[in-house]
Homo-oligomer: A and B are copies of this chain.
Amino acid sequence: MSVKHPNAVAISAPEETSRQLLEAASEVFARRGYRATTVREICRLAGANVAAVNYHYGGKDGLYAGVMQYAQQCAYEKYPPDLGLRIGATAEQRLEAFVRSFLLRIFGDGREAWHGKLMAHEMIEPTRALDALVEERIRPMSKQLGEIVGKLLQRPAGDKSVRMACLSIVGQCLFYHHCKPVISRLFPDEAFGASDVDRLASHITRFSLAALEVMAKDRLPAVRAVPRRLADARHK
């Protein structure tokens, strides 16, 4: 437990090591995940002593908590979900903006890449930090996408079909980042990265809008687009 500058007025180098520790930790935690990261590597990268982590953050846990908050704030400030939209934009435009900012947030370079990598690790090895993150960042975003898709499908935002469509859209976005190890081996000529965001956003938006278009016309929630013969082709 550390008490910092209890009665200081002006601080020359404001938490110099503390900040460098946070930066280095973000880098390493993002690359290796919580468990595989060693405080010694962080300190080496930050040019600090091993004991610095415990002094400034109370331990590896505290440092990770700080990193999560810091990295998320960076990502969402730089790429808000309504990025580049003018007021009165159509639902189609809002969908593309959503997809593009989502991809940018995930694929960001350098310090912007932290968010996507940290999230990927949280999916495999969830931490206490995830609960807060879902409520503060992801749920509002989910609601936002629900509004857009609801309008496109001409159904209430809470509708089951709307929710499923949202998941299909987000699933496409995350795939290119999450499965990069397989994609790059499967298609070595195209390694999706930050420079491909525009292309990907365009494809995902077109694919999804096409699907939504058909689904909007088809008011029945039951199977319709799949031939009825398919029903008995189930697995044994």
In the assembly, how many copies of this chain are there?
Answer: 2
Q: Is the CB of B174 within 8 A of A124?
A: no
Indicate whether A234 reaches chain B with its CB closer than 8 angstroms: yes
Q: Is the CB of A93 within 8 A of B230?
A: yes
Q: Is the CB of A230 within 8 A of B178?
A: no
Indicate whether A214 reaches chain B with its CB closer than 8 angstroms: yes
Binding site secondary structure of chain A:
helix
Counting contact residues on chain A (CB < 8 A from B), the size range is: 35 or more
Known: A175-B174, A175-B175, A225-B209. A182 touches B134 (CB 8 A): yes
Which B residues lie within 8 Å of A89 (CB)?
Answer: 233
Stretch at the interface among A12-20, A45-53, A59-67, A197-205: A197-205
Indicate whether A90 reaches chain B with its CB closer than 8 angstroms: yes
Which B residues lie within 8 Å of A202 (CB)?
Answer: 223, 226
Known: A83-B235, A207-B215, A234-B198. A167 touches B183 (CB 8 A): yes
Q: Is the CB of B206 within 8 A of A224?
A: yes
Q: Is the CB of A168 within 8 A of B203?
A: yes
Interface residues of A (CB under 8 A from B): 33, 35-36, 79, 83-86, 89-90, 92-93, 96-97, 100-101, 104, 120-126, 130-131, 134, 138-139, 142, 163-165, 167-168, 170-176, 178-183, 185-187, 198, 202-215, 218, 223-227, 229-230, 233-236
